[in-house]
Amino acid sequence: MFPPCCCLGGVRRPSLIMSRNFLSKNDELRRGDYLLSNNGEWKAVFQDDGNFVIYGWSPKWASDTANSDAVRLCMQADCNLVMYNIDSQPRWHTKTNKGNCNMCRLYLTNDGKLVLNRECEQIWSSNDSKGMK
């Protein structure tokens, strides 16, 4: 249910400190990494305390995982966004695992929400999920 997502052929992919607004399947964020909306008004940060938070002028949504031992956030090939600790034990996930797919992508939109699409169909949104709003 929670396969590793950051390795291809046994080679660890680099973390993504980025100014892009999406994660594709097999991409990951490490603590301190972030996504930035295309309009530059929103940032989704995987914080050093293990919380994944959307910021505008103030926090808009959070995964409520502050003070957890999570160290990486992975967009898996099964379209499940999963937060893992150093021992690869899951700490939080979107509950969207539905088997492998061709296209799976998490977007930070220009209105400050995270949207997870599978084959161009929305299957999860921060607006509809549990977490701080």
Number of domains in the chain: 1
pLDDT tens per residue, range 54-98? 999 999 999 999 999 999 999 999 999 999 999 999 999 999 998
Whether 11 is in a domain gets the answer: no
User: 0.75 cut: is pTM over it?
Assistant: yes
Is the residue at 41 inside a domain? yes
Lowest average pLDDT, out of 88-92, 110-114, 127-131, goes to 127-131
Residue 39 lies in a domain: yes
Q: Is residue 1 part of a domain?
A: no
Structural domain for 80, as ranges: 18-128
**What pLDDT was estimated at residue 84?**
98
> Looking at residue 100, which CATH number applies to its domain?
2.90.10.10
Query: Would residue 107 count as lying in a domain?
Result: yes
Query: If you average pLDDT over residues 107-126, what whole number do you get?
Result: 96
Bridging pattern class, strands 121-125 and 114-118: antiparallel
pLDDT tens, residue by residue, 27-41:
999 999 999 999 999
Q: Is residue 4 part of a domain?
A: no
